[in-house]
Amino acid sequence: MIYALGVIAAMLPMLTLAAEGPSSAPAPYGALPSPAQVRWQQMEFIGFIHFTTNTFTDKEWGFGDESPSVFNPTDFDAEQIVSSFAVAGMKQIVLVCKHHDGFCLWPSKFTDHSVEQSPWKGGKGDVVREISDACRRHKLKFGIYLSPWDRNRADYGSPSYVEYYRNQLRELITTYGPVSEVWHDGANGGDGFYGGAREARKIDPTSYYDWPTTWALIRQLDPNIVIFSDVGPDIRWVGTESGWTGDPCWSTITPVAEEAGRKPSPGVGIKDLWHGTRNGERWMPAETDFSIRPGWFYHASEDGKVKTGPELVSHYFGSAGHGSVMLLNVPPDRRGRVHETDRASLEDLGKRLKAIFAEDLARRAKATGPSRGSAFGPDKLVDGKAGTYWATEDDQTTPSVVLEFRAPVTFNVVRLREYLPLGQRVDDWAVDTWDGSDWVELAKGTAIGSCRLVRAKPVTTTKVRLRVTKSPVCPCLSEMGLFLEPQAP
């Protein structure tokens, strides 16, 4: 619709009036997420699959000289693999389509160093096809990891390799899409096979890959894809592979290289990945990647070192519960299946998470407190809707809300969520419970973001209070949930 300038001018006062009305939404604060970033953060728990020639050579980093003939799973079962992730409660799987050794899990047009040259299914197999199809059957999103470092390619280090990398990205996104996340790993160990050269090659990670051009290509192929690397642009690495996340862990960061003067790029050490930066320039939430076993790839020697269901629940609280997304790697074994021990842990984890979040007790409460009008009332905290939120007047930056119950409730988990489209607003908060005569502080913390979980001792009470104790602007919170973890540690 095209309006003449005069018409627009005439409409302006109306628009201003509407914006100043008593129940207008608060102004956004600081760096803001894209809709794709919000969708990604809402997944909270996703999975990773590392499976390649390393699985058969018992290595973590293949040198690049592995013969495709070693890749020969005896009983590959994408359904068994993907259902194991789904049963744990994961919402997406990132498949390592090519690791540093260069072997491709799909029959790429751009190389013959792939499943096509392997004995598996007579060279007609396609792991990327089978896993991506199974993801869709299980309603999981599908992401791809394509290692920028390639120890197999003769041209690694020259411009033609960067073209090869982009061709493969395009091929994967257009053949197996929709792809929800693209993962650029930062590792570059230097030495490799490199088409027989067997030497060390050093590239400058700040310039060699020309990331802005690659990212523009991904955006052009599908603007809904979120891009992960040490420095985003959409999702940042959390800085460790321990499965834990900083507290606080801000969704914002101002990327600065650890080495003074260096351009912040994938593969370059970046400051503050663990905590992010309060009021940082960019919205770039953290992804917490770790493995269910010590290694990323399957090793029979690690069959006794698989993390248990209760351990994984603790990781969930310590990563997703700090506003990050938990990315759990489960490596298929030489059969091409998730090992029985790992499967049992995933099933147990799924059961435990389901039991914890089975009922949001806060939905039974009457919520009272100040607000900027009924559209933003405290009832929005307990309505179970992600798209509604409680907000106060602009000058009420440290308000409290009380949830009152007709009959006592017992809970040991609290979940808080900010309404992300208006930015990460709250600094400090506290939760109290009523003991019959006084308020008793149950927990306090810094930062809320997409999901802040408190795991406490069980409390039985008729009143729970949330206090926002420090915030530069009025808070906008979409949820305060209360849950009972039945088998708390």
CA distance 134 to 208: 35
For ligand FUL, the closer CB: 333 or 427: 333
Binding mask 260-289 for ligand FUL (x = CB under 6 A): -----------------------------x
For ligand FUL, the closer CB: 188 or 251: 188
For ligand FUL, the closer CB: 307 or 455: 307
CB of 296 to ligand FUL, least distance (A): 4
CB of 50 to ligand FUL, least distance (A): 6
The only residue of 85, 296, 317, 390 in contact with ligand FUL, by rule CB under 6 A: 296
**Does residue 17 touch ligand FUL according to CB under 6 A?**
no
Decide: helix, strand or coil at residue 250: coil
Binding mask 33-72 for ligand FUL (x = CB under 6 A): ---------------------------x------------
CB of 182 to ligand FUL, least distance (A): 14
CA-derived radius of gyration, the chain? 25
CB of 329 to ligand FUL, least distance (A): 7
CA distance 225 to 389: 27
CB of 209 to ligand FUL, least distance (A): 15
Q: What is the DSSP letter of 386?
A: T
CB of 187 to ligand FUL, least distance (A): 4
Closest CA to 419 of 29, 23, 90: 29
CB of 400 to ligand FUL, least distance (A): 42
Q: How many residues interact with ligand FUL (rule CB under 6 A)?
A: 5
The DSSP code sequence of 116-185 is GGSSGGGGT--HHHHHHHHHHHTT-EEEEEE-S--SS-TTTTSHHHHHHHHHHHHHHHHHH----EEE--
Report 142-201 residues binding ligand FUL (CB under 6 A). 185, 187
CB of 230 to ligand FUL, least distance (A): 9
Q: Which residues pair with 401 in a beta bridge?
A: 466
Determine how many CB atoms are found less than 10 A away from the CB of residue 302: 17
Q: Which residues pair with 481 in a beta bridge?
A: 415
Closest CA to 425 of 445, 447, 394: 447
Q: Give the strand pairing for 199-200 and 452-470.
A: unpaired
Contact 153, 196 (CB under 8 A): no
Binding mask 90-119 for ligand FUL (x = CB under 6 A): ------------------------------
Shortest-Cβ-distance residue relative to ligand FUL: 187
Q: Which residues pair with 213 in a beta bridge?
A: none
Q: What is the DSSP letter of 310?
A: H
- List residues near ligand FUL by CB under 6 A: 60, 185, 187, 289, 296
